[in-house]
Amino acid sequence: MKSKTSHMADKKLKSLLFLAAKTTVVHNKSIVYMQNGKSLKVNPYFLILNSVSNKLLRTGYGVIQSGRPLNMNHIAVIPEKWWANSPD
């Protein structure tokens, strides 16, 4: 399998996201925990950076949509099987 960027992708945006992901892995506590958990499962480094950049995109979209400032010290706690307690 070739590991190259699609010809339809925005390569400059992808490179900026990966640079931001590398910096975030060092400085953001919740991302560090996510990265450590994924590296324990022996995932490739670029797969981890891809998930970190995806999380950065989702976080940025959430901040813009909610209009509230980002709390850098916030660590999200997601209980196991939270969907099992949902009233359907």
Q: How do the domains of the chain map onto residue ranges?
A: 12-64
- Whether the CB-CB separation of 55 and 32 falls below 8 Å is answered with no
Percent of the chain scored above 90 by pLDDT? 1
Find all residues with CB under 8 Å of 73, minimum gap 6, and list them.
Answer: 29
What is the value of pTM for the model shown? 0.63
Q: How confident is the model at residue 1 (pLDDT cuts 50, 70, 90)?
A: low
Give the pLDDT confidence of 59-85 residue by residue, as tens digits: 888 889 988 887 766 666 665 555 555
Residue with the larger pLDDT of the pair 33 and 18: 18
